[in-house]
Amino acid sequence: MASSFLSIEHVCKSFARGQSTTQVLRDINLSIVRGEYVSIIGHSGCGKSTLLNLIAGLTKITTGGIILENKEVNEPGPDRAVVFQNHSLLPWLTTYQNVKLAVDKVFSQSKSRAERHAWTMHNLELVQMVHAKDKLPAEISGGMKQRVGIARALAMEPKVLLLDEPFGALDALTRAHLQDSVMQIHARLGNTVIMITHDVDEAVLLSDRIVMMTNGPSATIGEILDVPLQRPRKRLELSSDPTYLRSREAVMRFLYERHRAPALQAA
């Protein structure tokens, strides 16, 4: 336990509204090693986004604790950069300025002005967005915005990169393209990534492990699946790979057989 990079220990989260309290997450235990790519999958309303917000420190933990490199997480910080579902770029800044804002803040002491500029450009290059560096977010497509969002998060050199359904709002082709980019970046930089998703193929394609959540309220980790596929992974070759298909089936069985969405159960 002590050797793990990020460990989530007995985390519970309840939201109180007036007199009533709703438990969203119950007894979450998970430990993640450095460089690992972990997906969290579950039906909507299972609290997976809440879990990500707890790791990010944006939401306070009710009981239990999250420990990153032997330090407890209790507030947000750039060591756990988040790529938000709807990109959340600041619309009055150009893509360059959006990334630069993060770089300037995080490296205000450790990098010179020229180095900060170079680092900003480097990260835009990493997501292939240098050509649009002077564009405002409103002037670029959804996929491009998300690329910039990823560049901004990467530029903080986070210990853990948190992706909150990063491809959810994109069309299938753009999504595939961006998934490939994320895989390449992960291979190159070896960051530790936690990704929220509701897409089974995405989870299997990208992850080393898939954390499957039971349905809420009081959701918890139902099962953790290892995805023993070699990297680099090729989308096309995998579509007939037996390990891929087996992993995919395991997740599907979990989601649609054992823990069906509440709405589906009612139907």
- Options 54, 61, 82, 154; binder of other proteins; rule CB under 8 A: 82
Among 61, 106, 126, 150, binds other proteins (CB under 8 A): 106
Q: Does 169 bind other proteins (CB under 8 A)?
A: no
User: Would you count residue 78 as binding other proteins (CB under 8 A)?
Assistant: yes
Q: Does 6 bind other proteins (CB under 8 A)?
A: no
- What's the distance, CA 160 to chain centroid? 9
Scanning 32-40, 75-83, 115-123, 201-209 for contacts with other proteins by CB under 8 A, the matching segment is 75-83
For other proteins, give the closer residue by CB, 168 or 222. Answer: 168
CA angle 35, 195, 85 (to 5 degrees): 135
Pull the structure tokens for residue 161. 């990169």
60 near other proteins, rule: CB under 8 A: no
Nearest in space to 37 (alpha carbons), one of 257, 197, 256: 197
Nearer to other proteins, 24 or 221 (CB): 24
154 lines the binding site for other proteins (CB under 8 A): no
CA R_g for the chain: 19
Residue by residue, DSSP assigns 166-190 as TTTTS-HHHHHHHHHHHHHHHHHH-
Tell me whether strands 37-41 and 192-197 are parallel, antiparallel or unpaired: parallel
Q: Does 136 bind other proteins (CB under 8 A)?
A: yes
Name which position in 5, 12, 33, 77 contacts other proteins (CB under 8 A).
77
Contact status: 71 vs other proteins (CB under 8 A):
no
Residue 31 CA: distances (Å) to CA of 5, 41, 171, 243, 246: 7, 16, 32, 24, 24
Residue 119 sits in the site that holds other proteins (CB under 8 A): no
Exposure string of 81-99, with b = 16+ CB inside 10 Å and e = fewer, is bbbbbebebeeeebbbbbb
Beta carbon of residue 210, minimum distance to other proteins (angstroms, whole number): 25
Query: Which of 92, 128, 235, 245 touches other proteins (CB under 8 A)?
Result: 92
Interface positions with other proteins (CB under 8 A): 56-58, 75-78, 80-82, 84, 86, 88, 90-92, 101-102, 105-106, 136, 156
